[in-house]
Structure formats: C-alpha cells, structure tokens
Amino acid sequence: MEASLSLRRSSFSSPFHAPRRSLPHLDAPKFLPFSKSRSSKRCHLSVQMSVKSEPSADLMAPVDPSVSPRVSSLRPSKTMAITDQATALRQAGVPVIGLAAGEPDFDTPAVIAEAGINAIKQGYTRYTPNAGTLELRKAICHKLEEENGLSYSPDQILVSNGAKQCIMQAVLAVCSPGDEVLIPAPYWVSYPEMARLADATPVILPTNISDNFLLNPEFLASKINEKSRLLILCSPSNPTGSVYPKKLLEEIADIVRKHPRLLVLSDEIYEHIIYAPAKHTSFASLPGMWERTLTVNGFSKAFAMTGWRLGYLACPKHFVSACGKIQSQSTSGASSISQKAGLAALGLGYAGGEAVSVMVKAFQERRDFLVKSFRELEGVKISEPQGAFYLFIDFSSYYGSEVEGFGTIKDSESLCRFLLDKAQVALVPGDAFGDDKCIRISYAASLSTLQDAMKKIKEAMVLLRPPVAV
C-alpha cells in the first residue's frame, strides 16, 4: 500500500493532499527528482510516503550533508574536549572541582527574582516591542547617564537576549565581507568567531602579561588599514580581569579618531565587578567617541542573571536600527519576564547597590586568596586582575615537562588535562582565548572550594619537573 502526495510549487492553493485517515507507519519521505516527463511548465515535486518496511533504493535521493562555509569556517570550541572529560569524570563519580564556568555562583538577588515571578503572576507574559519595553530602555538610559556619563534616548537602546546577542548583531550589522575586526588577545572566545560569521576577518592583536594584557596603542595604530571596521575592547576583561585605565583608553581614542571607518565595540559586561582602585571608563564617554562606539552591557554577570538572558546595546540610532532589524527577523524582543527582572535590577541603585557590592566583595576576597596562593608556586607569572572573576596565569615555564603515566605537558590544553586528571580541577586552556601560555581559572566558586582546589593543584604541580627560569 502506498500513499503519495505531490507538492506543486506553482500552486499553493492546496499544497498537501495528505490522506485523511492516519497511516499506520510512515517511512521517511522519499524525494523524487523533478520529472522530465511532465509536459507542464509547472515544476512538480513528488513526495512519496510508503508504509512498506524497506524503501526502494531508486526512490531515495541521498541527503546532502554539507553545511554552509560560514559554519565550516568556525573553529570548534577548544574548551569542549576538557568540558566533556570533566563531565565524564563526574559521571564516573570523581568529585571534579569546576573552575571553568563563566558565571557567578550566586543566586539572582531576591528582589530581582521576585520581579520575574510577579511578572508571570500578573500575566506579563506576552511579546514586548522588539527593542525592549520602553520602561526598561528608559531605565537603561538613566543608568548610562548616571553611572557612565553617557547620554542616550530610548530609541538608541536595543535590549536583547543577552549581551552575546548584542555583540553578534552589532558585528553583523556593521561589518561587510572582507572587513577586518581588530581583537586584542587574550580575547573572549566568541569575538573572532562572530567576525567570521559576518564574513569579516578577525585580526588578533597580542598583548603581554607584563603590560597587564593591555593593548599597546602604537601596536594598534600599526595594524589599522582601510579594511579595519571594528575594534573590540573588553574592560574589565574576560579572560584576564584587566581593566583599561582612562588614560590608555584616551590614547586608543586618539588613534581611532584618525580613521573615519573604524568603529569600536566596547563590551562592558563586567563593569560592576571591579576592585578598587581600578575604575571603569566607558569608551563612548571619551571626546568624539560617542558617535563611533557601540556599547554593550548586560545583566548576566553583575546581577547573577546568566539564565535570564538579558543584555543591551547603546549606540547612535542608525546602528541600533540595523541591529534591531536583525533581531526582529531572528529572535524578536527579549523575554518579557526577564525585562521586568532587569528593571528591578536597575532599581537596586547605583552600580547595583548593596546586593551587587556583597558579591563583588566576595569575588575580591577570592581573587586575593588565589593570587597569593599562585604566587607561592614557582615559575608562574600572574597579572593581578582588577575586575571580572578570572585569573589568567602563565604556566608556560612548565611546558615540556614529562609526567610518568601521562605524557608531555606541551601546551595549555595538555596542562588542563593533566590538572583534571591529577588534581580533579577543571580549568580552561588559554589557547581558547588566543594565548596558549596561560590557563584561565574562574573564581566564581566559594572560598572553601577554591582552597580545596588550590591544595590539589599544588600537589599535582609537584609532579612536574622544576620549571625553567622565568
């Protein structure tokens, strides 16, 4: 018994002639090539559904497994292998300490969570405007004015499903194929891949640990050409925790302003997680930079709201509109519930008020503990982070060590594998961030967890040969 349905591309009045009765078992549809024998100029595509147990081979067109070159040019995440290994160990009952996560270990402050719950209870569960609710965009404008010295109107704000979406849309909106995106390294893993997705070319600008991983303005100047379209700055930085001092940003601005095509994406998502005396400066607040800066911020990190998926972009209207167009044809507006929660977060007061400062204090205590502990290890280089919740440590003096039963520690990935194997601590290889000399340690974990991890790391490092002089 065979049921067939034919799909006429030229006539959509009745595209499917599916049998009314239900079929007992349908094999995968078989797509037939367009029939030459059909005299009509209309193009016919026959789809046959068979209840036979074995489809006949001549009716099966092979599936084309290729994917877009846009996707195949993306580099697979180097952190995946380590993450998979950590998961496998955990499933086998090994108590792995995870210090790889890029999210706060705190709960979302209660006031914010309650605002989300109330939104649901009050039926605030429908689509919002694509750009975000007016009340939230007004609150964001107020925050940017008060805390960052930036003046925007609500139509210069786009609320998205996380800062990540803001960055992806901004890169897609401003970069044309062949444009260059300047990315200081170490960088957040997604920047170069986002540039590739936009058919632009990531141009990596290495920095040194001795300069606290901050971009050298002269080096930047030497890398700018007529294809340079976007410079991505991230301060406080993931993965290094470095914070750009205002003076250095001014020097960078002096270079940027000489190049009319060059825009700056300023990723300020870790803005509130900053340790005195470091101070955050918004790049757009520098003279002449408002017009050419796309400022990205969000709620994930400071407000411990990673799962709420809420971020925003602030920039001149023509760029916001371009990004909004992409958003309107992909995800539409962010969650209505999260937007109510975001409003409550901004209502906590300057820089998130007490709720955020409690978390920042805890992060600082953990940073101090880790910096002190790692400094006790011979041969490591550390740039003390001024913000965010990561430590990016140079372990390269240990590369080349042979470990019995493990092999050679040849790079950041093998060192992370070794530490996972011997210390049962999961970390992220620096290679993922464009610096293979280092590994990233997230201190979004309790002090006691960090103390435990540190003890195990130190015990494991003893197995490596004494480091070369650094």
Nearer to ligand PLP, 256 or 304 (CB): 304
Residue 104 near ligand PLP by CB under 6 A: no
Applying CB under 6 A, among 104, 186, 202, 298 the residue interacting with ligand PLP is 298
Applying CB under 6 A, among 306, 338, 339, 396 the residue interacting with ligand PLP is 306
Cβ burial of 261 (10 Å; 0-12, 13-18, 19+) is: middle
Greatest Cα-to-Cα distance within the chain, rounded to the nearest angstrom: 83
Nearer to ligand PLP, 160 or 401 (CB): 160
Taking the complex as a whole, how short is the minimal distance between the CB of residue 330 and ligand PLP, in angstroms?
15
- Return the C-alpha torsion angle 388, 311, 428, 413, nearest 10: -130
CA 325 to chain centre: 21
Nearer to ligand PLP, 162 or 387 (CB): 162
Residue 234 near ligand PLP by CB under 6 A: yes
What span, in angstroms and rounded, lies between the C-alpha atoms of 52 and 38?
A: 26
Taking the complex as a whole, how short is the minimal distance between the CB of residue 267 and ligand PLP, in angstroms?
5
Taking the complex as a whole, how short is the minimal distance between the CB of residue 166 and ligand PLP, in angstroms?
8
**Total site size for ligand PLP, rule CB under 6 A:** 13
Q: Which stretch binds ligand PLP (CB under 6 A): 58-66, 298-306, 404-412, 427-435?
A: 298-306
Taking the complex as a whole, how short is the minimal distance between the CB of residue 412 and ligand PLP, in angstroms?
18
CA 166 to chain centre: 10
Nearer to ligand PLP, 115 or 457 (CB): 115
Taking the complex as a whole, how short is the minimal distance between the CB of residue 100 and ligand PLP, in angstroms?
12
Applying CB under 6 A, among 105, 179, 180, 267 the residue interacting with ligand PLP is 267
Return the HEC string of the chain.
CEEEEEEECCCCCCCCCCCCCCCCCCCCCEECCCCCCCCCCCCEEEEEEECCCCCCHHHCCCCCCCCCHHHHCCCCCCHHHHHHHHHHHHHCCCCCEECCCCCCCCCCCHHHHHHHHHHHHCCCCCCCCCCCCHHHHHHHHHHHHHHHCCCCCHHHEEEECCHHHHHHHHHHHHCCCCCEEEEEECCCCHHHHHHHHCCCEEEEEECCHHHCCCCCHHHHHHHCCCCEEEEEEECCCCCCCCCCCHHHHHHHHHHHCCCCCCEEEEECCCCCCECCCCCCCCHHHCCCCHHHEEEEEECCCCCCCHHHCCEEEECCHHHHHHHHHHHHCCCCCCCHHHHHHHHHHHCCCHHHHHHHHHHHHHHHHHHHHHHHHHHCCCCCEECCCCECCEEEEECHHHCCCEECCCEECCCHHHHHHHHHHHCCEECEEHHHHCCCCEEEEECCCCHHHHHHHHHHHHHHHCCCCCCCCC
How many Å from the N-terminal Cα to the C-terminal Cα in the chain?
77
Taking the complex as a whole, how short is the minimal distance between the CB of residue 16 and ligand PLP, in angstroms?
40
Taking the complex as a whole, how short is the minimal distance between the CB of residue 238 and ligand PLP, in angstroms?
4
Applying CB under 6 A, among 109, 116, 192, 311 the residue interacting with ligand PLP is 311
Nearer to ligand PLP, 304 or 454 (CB): 304
Q: Return the residues of window 15-54 that contact ligand PLP according to CB under 6 A.
A: none
Taking the complex as a whole, how short is the minimal distance between the CB of residue 258 and ligand PLP, in angstroms?
27
Residue 238 near ligand PLP by CB under 6 A: yes
Residue 132 near ligand PLP by CB under 6 A: no
Applying CB under 6 A, among 181, 224, 269, 415 the residue interacting with ligand PLP is 269
Residue 352 near ligand PLP by CB under 6 A: no
Residue 283 near ligand PLP by CB under 6 A: no
Taking the complex as a whole, how short is the minimal distance between the CB of residue 171 and ligand PLP, in angstroms?
12
* Interface map 138-177 toward ligand PLP (x if CB under 6 A): ------------------------xxx-------------
Applying CB under 6 A, among 50, 82, 102, 450 the residue interacting with ligand PLP is 102
Taking the complex as a whole, how short is the minimal distance between the CB of residue 162 and ligand PLP, in angstroms?
3
Residue 188 near ligand PLP by CB under 6 A: yes
Nearer to ligand PLP, 232 or 415 (CB): 232
Contacts with ligand PLP by CB under 6 A lie at 102, 162-164, 188, 234, 238, 267, 269, 298, 300, 306, 311
